[in-house]
A and B are shown apart, each in its own frame.
Chain A
Amino acid sequence: MANTIHVDIVSAEGQIFSGEASMVFVPGSQGELGIAPRHAPLLTTLKAGEVRVQSDGAEEQSFYVGGGTLEIQPNRVTVLADTAARARDLDEAAAVAAKQRAEDAVRERTDKVEIAEAQAELLRAVAQLRAIERLRKKR
């Protein structure tokens, strides 16, 4: 038992892997990491890539992660995997789409008062989008 390390790979949608390993390779955001048992505690982010789990007497297993977070404790590795590819721009696009849907739903209303309300809403949403764009430029 002394020379194995417990590995958990979980994503928001479910557990992907759980078991003992003698060596784990993960795509850290600062470079590929090889984790042996009794690794120093470490917390880092992952980029999209392959997590490889090696254990004695078994074939190497590999899992694709779209990024995520890695936590290492001396006897335990936890990979919090993102199932989807994540990037700031992509997230931004998703947020814009969510707003758009809200606007569309509001635009469907027919009463005159409601149209006025909806227009006000639209203006606000446009302003929000502009604010986001400005923020993005700053970054």
Chain B
Amino acid sequence: MAGAKEIRGKIVSIKNTQKITKAMEMVAASKMRKAQDRMRAARPYAEKIRKIIGHLRQVNLDYKHPFTLERPVQSVGIVVISTDRGLCGSLNLNLFKAALGAIREAQGKNVKVYLCVIGSKALQFFRRLSGVEIAASVTHLGDKPKSADLIGTSKVMLDFYRDTKVDQLLLVHNVFVNTMTQKGVVSQLLPLQTIDKDELQERWDYIYEPDAAEILDGILMRYIESQIFQGAVENVACEMAARMVAMKSASDNAGKLIDELQLIYNKARQAAITKELSEIVGGAAAV
């Protein structure tokens, strides 16, 4: 009966782990749905702003805002949005790979890199990285990020851009493709890429109060902030989806492991019984 007891102990402990992973899977699944809703809810704001900016640029062709001007890139600011917690598969790893790619590319061109990290995983990862400066960070946004919590971090980067401390602002974030697929993507926040003209059918000449420049400035800032916020919200949806998938495969693996151990356990038990029987039979024959 040598291994039988130990094997049983192992099975019990794996079963307990499986219970935990199953619970986490279900929690992640329900949170994912909510996160997706929030992700969708955040979209109209960015769309409306984009339209207004489009209108503004159409009627104000002569006015150039610093956010729309291309400058030679001597330093670059990168905003990285990661999760706060682990156990979500390779989500963060892939994101960091994308971010590292952008950083290495910049450093290859002798461009200084300023980082703005959102999420404690990114903070832990990038503070060990040499040659980059972490200018701002925010962690523990929770499952429902609030735009108010991101104001500070975005402002640091926007100020850097305005003071020409960085000449380009990139956003590294996860894109929710579907439940199975999330992609780490690098996109450019500043200078603003031109906005499609074909979605504008009408021309307005606005009355501005107080004046066009100030309003445009405010709107552009809100636009960038909303992009970062959108990234943070989408990141939560990605985190939950990735965790759900990771936990599902963990539960499946635990199930397989239990099956295998059960087989070994049964064999060991059977061997013990056979041995005992043959001992009894042998003993009887001797008498």
Interface residues, chain A, with chain B CB atoms under 8 Å away: 8, 10-15, 28-30, 40-45, 68-69, 71, 73, 78, 80, 82-84, 86, 90-99, 101-102, 105-106, 109, 117, 121, 124, 128, 131-132
Q: Min CB distance, B77 to chain A, in Å? A: 13
* Chain A residues in 8 Å Cβ range of B138: 98, 101
Stretch from B11-19, B94-102, B129-137 at the A interface: B129-137
**Binding site secondary structure of chain B:** helix
For B225, give the chain A residue with the smallest CB separation: A12
- 20 more contacts with CB within 8 A, not counting A14-B44, A80-B49, A105-B134, are A8-B48, A10-B44, A12-B42, A13-B41, A13-B45, A14-B38, A15-B41, A30-B209, A43-B207, A43-B209, A45-B209, A83-B146, A84-B146, A84-B151, A94-B152, A94-B155, A98-B136, A98-B155, A98-B156, A99-B135
Interface residue stretch chosen among B181-189, B215-223, B259-267, B271-279? B215-223
How far in angstroms is the closest Cβ of chain B from A53? 17
**Interface residue B148 (Cβ < 8 Å from any Cβ of A):** yes
Question: What is the CA–CA distance of A57 and B100 in the complex, to the nearest angstrom?
Answer: 58
> Cα distance A45–B210 when bound, in Å?
8
User: By the criterion CB–CB under 8 Å, are B209 and A44 in contact?
Assistant: yes
Closest-by-CB residue of B relative to A69 is B219
CA distance A40 to B44 in the complex (A): 24
List B contacts of A14 (CB < 8 A).
38, 41-42, 44-45
Chain A residues touching B, majority SS: mixed
The one of B45, B156, B207, B229 in contact with A40, judged by C-beta atoms closer than 8 angstroms, is B207
A84→B151 CA distance, assembly (Å): 9
A78 to B14, CA, bound (A): 56
Answer whether residue B153 sits at the interface, using C-beta atoms and an 8 A cutoff.
Answer: yes
A45-B206 Cα distance, complex, nearest whole Å: 13
Q: Is the CB of A95 within 8 A of B156?
A: yes
Tell me which of B46, B56, B147, B214 contacts A45 (CB under 8 A): B214
Task: Tell me, rounded to whole Å, the shortest Cβ–Cβ distance linking A18 to chain B.
Answer: 8
Could you list 16 A-B pairs, sorted by A, with CB under 8 Å? A8-B48, A12-B42, A15-B44, A30-B210, A41-B205, A43-B209, A68-B222, A73-B202, A80-B222, A82-B222, A95-B151, A98-B153, A99-B135, A102-B136, A109-B127, A121-B133
Interface size bucket, B side?
Answer: 35 or more
Alpha-carbon distance between A95 and B202 when the two chains are bound, in angstroms: 38
Complex: A43 Cα to B229 Cα, angstroms:
24
Q: Which of A12, A30, A73 is most buried by chain B, counting CB atoms within 10 A of its CB?
A: A12
A45 touches B215 (CB 8 A): yes
Q: Given A44-B215, A98-B137, verify A83-B148 contact (CB < 8 Å).
A: yes
Chain A residues positioned under 8 Å from B136 (CB to CB)? 95, 98-99, 101-102
B123 within 8 A of A: yes
Q: Which residue of chain A is the closest to B203 with respect to CB atoms?
A: A41
Tell whether B107 is near chain A: CB-to-CB under 8 Å. Answer: no
Identify which of B42, B52, B152, B219 contacts A98 (C-beta below 8 A).
B152
CB proximity of A63 to chain B, nearest CB, Å = 15
Residue of A84, A95, A128, A131 contacting most chain B CB atoms (<10 Å) = A95
A residues near B226, Cβ cutoff 8 Å: 12
Distance A80 CA – B45 CA, assembled complex (angstroms): 7
Contacting A at CB under 8 A, from B184-214, are 202, 204-210, 212, 214
B60 to chain A, nearest CB (A): 11
In the complex, which residues of chain A have a beta carbon less than 8 angstroms from the beta carbon of B139? 101
Cβ of B159 under 8 Å from chain A? yes
Cβ contacts under 8 Å, B42 to chain A: 12-14
Q: How far is the CA of A102 from the CA of B79 in the complex (A)?
A: 13
**A92–B229 alpha-carbon span in the complex (Å):** 18
| B207 / chain A contacts, CB cutoff of 8 Å | 40-43
Q: Which 10 pairs from chain A and chain B are nearest by CB?
A: A94-B152, A14-B41, A84-B148, A98-B136, A98-B152, A44-B209, A41-B204, A12-B147, A95-B155, A43-B206
